[in-house]
Amino acid sequence: MKKIAMLMAISFLAILMMTGCTSEPQTGGSSDSEGAEGSGNGSAAGDELIIAVLSDATQLDPHTGTDIPSANVYHGKIYEGLVKQDENMEIQPALATEWEPIDDVTWEFTLREGVKFHDGTPFNAEAVKKNFERILSEEIASPRATLFEMIEEVKVVDDYTVQIKTAYPFAPLLANLAHYAGGIVSPTAAEKYGKELGQHPVGTGKFKFEEWTPGSQITLSTYDEYWGETPSYETVVYKVVPEDATRIAMVETGEAHLAEPVPVTEIERIENSDSMSLNRSQGLGTDYLGFNVQKEPFNNKKVRQAINYAVDTEQIIEGVYNNVGTVADSPMGPGVWGYNENVEGYEYNIEKAKELLKEAGYEDGFKTSIWTNDNQARVDVAEVVQSQLKGIGIEAEINVMEWGAYLEATANGEHDMFILGWSNMTGDADYNQYFLFHSEAQGTPGNRTFYENEKVDELIDAGRQETDPEKRLEIYAEAQKIEVEDAPAIFLRYDENLVAVNNNVEGFWMHPAGIYMIDDITINE
C-alpha cells in the first residue's frame, strides 16, 4: 500500500515539476471575459477594479462551464475548490487544508472550518459530497463530468473530513480538483436554481455575484464574511469591449485597469506608453485550425495532411502574431506535462500538398469554409490560410461568428474547418488528450474535430490510470505521434498570455492557464 501511494505521489510531483505554464476553448490567443462601466470621470476608482474584455461570459456555473471567458469571472473569485494552483502550477490548500493518499484509490481531505457560502449555507463535508454528486448527475449533464467520472464514492467521515474513492488509480486527480469544474457551489443554491445556477452563482470565494447585464458587464463585490483575507478593493467589474483598440485605450486613459486579450498590433503602443505596461507570460494553450473529420472531404486523412503541408505556420506566427508564441508541432506545448519533444510536425511543402490532394481524388481542389469567432487575430489567421489554400486549388469562405454562437455551432458539428485555442487548466497531458481527442469528448466537451481513433482512446484511458510517470510519458508520446499522423487539426502555435495593465495597478499576475489572478491587486490613486 505504501509503495502504491508513493508511486502516486511521485507521479503527481513529476507533473508539478515538469509543468511550466496553460483547457478550454479560448476566444483569442489567450482568454477573454467581460466587464462594467467606468467611474464616470474617465478614471477607474481605487475601490473598483475594472477589466475590459473581448467576450461576455456564457454562464457562471462551474459544473457546466466550457470556456475561459466565463471561468475568468468565477474561477477563484466566486467559487473555490478543495485545492488550487499557484503561479508555478503547484497544488496549494483552498477549501481543503491538507490531504493524503490512504491507498491507491483513496484520498482523504481535511476541510477548512468556519467557512460559509455567500447565501449563509455552511461549508462542510456534506456540501462537498453533494457537489460531486451534482457534477456527475445525469440531470446536470456536465460537459466536465469526465474530469471526475472515475470517482466511485465521496465518503463523509465527519463534518470536516471527506474521502474520495476512485475506480482506479488516477494520477491527475489533484490537478483536476484544481480545475474550475471542481468549484464548490452552495448546495442550497444548487437545489433552488438547478440548471439555472449559472445565472445565480453562489460560492465561498472572495467575491459574490451582484449583477449581470448580458453583452455589457458583470459586477462582483467583496464578500465581507470571507474566511481569509479580502481584496483591497470593493468591487470588480468585467466590461465587454469588442473593439481591440478601445480596450487598450481604456487602460491607457485609466478608464480600466486591465485589458485582455491584447492584439499583437497593440504591443508596441503598450510598451511605449507612460501610463500602462504589458504583462507577458508563458501560456499552456495551443492555437489550432481544426477539421470536421465527419464531413467530406475532411474524412479523408490525405486531405487533412495536404492542408497541413499547404499552411505555412511560421508565416502566421510572424505575420499575424508578431512572433508572440512559438510554432507548434504537436497537440500540446512544452509547458504541459507529457509533451513529446520528438514529435515531428508538418513542414511547409506545396508540392507534397498537391501530391496528397491528387491521391485523395481532389486534384482540382474543392470549396469549403473556415469558421472563427470575432477575434481579430483569428480572423487574420483565417485570411492567411484562405490565401495559402488557393495555392492548392482550395477555395475557402470565411465565416465569422459571435463567441457564444460559435461555441454552440462548432459543438454541434455545423462547421467545416475552424480556428480555436485550447488552454490546459490542469497542466497535465490528460486534459489535452482526453478533451481534444477522445471519442467520448466529441462536441461541447472539447473534441470539435469529432476525431475518433480506437487506439488513441485506449492510450488516453491507459494514461489516466497509469501511476508510473515514466510509463505515462511513453503512453502520451505514442498518442501524440498518432494524432499528428491522423492530422485532425493543424497545430498553429503555443501561445503567450498578454494583458495590458495600467500603471496604478500592483500585484496582478496571470495564471498559465489564462486566468486573471486578482486577489493581491492594489489600486493606487
Calpha distance 261→68 (Å, rounded): 12
In the chain, % helix, strand, coil (3-state, to 5) comes to 35, 25, 40
Cβ–Cβ < 8 Å for 53, 239: yes
CATH class of 283-496: alpha beta
Closest CA to 170 of 154, 155, 152, 150: 150
Pairing, β 207-213 against β 106-111: unpaired
Q: What is the pLDDT of residue 335?
A: 85
**455 vs 167, 451, 476, CA distance in Å?**
22, 12, 12
Calpha distance 8→173 (Å, rounded): 10
With a CB cutoff of 8 Å and minimum separation 6, the contacts of 142 are: 63, 64, 135, 136, 181
Neighbours of 215 (CB within 10 A): 12
Per-residue model confidence as pLDDT tens digits over 197-221: 999 999 999 999 999 999 999 999 9
Cβ–Cβ < 8 Å for 198, 64: yes
With a CB cutoff of 8 Å and minimum separation 6, the contacts of 44 are: 38, 50, 254, 255, 256, 257, 502, 523
For the whole model, what pTM was predicted?
0.78
Cβ–Cβ < 8 Å for 261, 27: yes
Q: What is the pLDDT of residue 26?
A: 54
With a CB cutoff of 8 Å and minimum separation 6, the contacts of 458 are: none
Calpha distance 247→244 (Å, rounded): 5
Give the per-residue SS3 of 490-514: EEEEEEEEEEEEECCEECCEECCCC
Q: Where are the beta strands (DSSP E) in 235-387?
A: 235-240, 258-260, 276-291, 326-327, 366-373
Per-residue model confidence as pLDDT tens digits over 440-482: 999 999 999 999 999 999 999 999 989 899 999 999 999 999 9
What 8-state DSSP symbol labels residue 114? S
Cβ–Cβ < 8 Å for 307, 394: yes
Q: What is the pLDDT of residue 444?
A: 92
> pLDDT per position in the chain (525 positions), as tens?
333 334 444 333 333 333 322 235 654 443 332 222 223 333 455 699 999 999 999 999 999 998 889 999 999 999 999 999 998 889 999 999 999 999 999 999 999 999 999 999 999 999 999 999 999 999 999 988 989 999 999 999 999 999 999 999 998 999 999 999 999 999 999 999 999 999 999 999 999 999 999 999 999 999 999 999 999 999 999 999 999 999 999 999 999 999 999 988 899 999 999 999 999 998 898 999 999 999 999 999 999 999 999 999 999 999 999 999 999 999 998 889 999 999 999 999 999 999 999 999 999 999 999 999 998 889 999 999 999 999 999 999 999 999 889 999 999 999 999 999 998 889 899 999 999 999 999 999 999 999 999 999 999 999 998 989 999 999 999 999 999 999 999 999 998 999 999 999 999 999 988 899 999 999 997
| Matching residue, cell 496549494 | 92
Q: What is the pLDDT of residue 5?
A: 39
Helix 2-18 × helix 469-486 angle, to 10°: 50
Question: What is the full DSSP assignment across 209-242?
Answer: EEEEETTTEEEEEE-TT-SSPPPSSSEEEEEE--
Helix (H) or strand (E) holding 9: helix 2-18
Q: What is the pLDDT of residue 424?
A: 87
Calpha distance 105→340 (Å, rounded): 28
Residue type, 293: V
Neighbours of 318 (CB within 10 A): 12
Residue type, 321: Y
- Grid coordinates belonging to 100: 493524503
Domain ranges for the chain: 283-496
- Grid coordinates belonging to 369: 469554409
Give the per-residue SS3 of 17-50: HHCCCCCCEECCCCCCCCECCCCCCCCCCCCEEE
In our burial notation (b when 16+ CB lie closer than 10 A, e otherwise), range 103-121 reads ebbbbbbbbbeebebbeeb
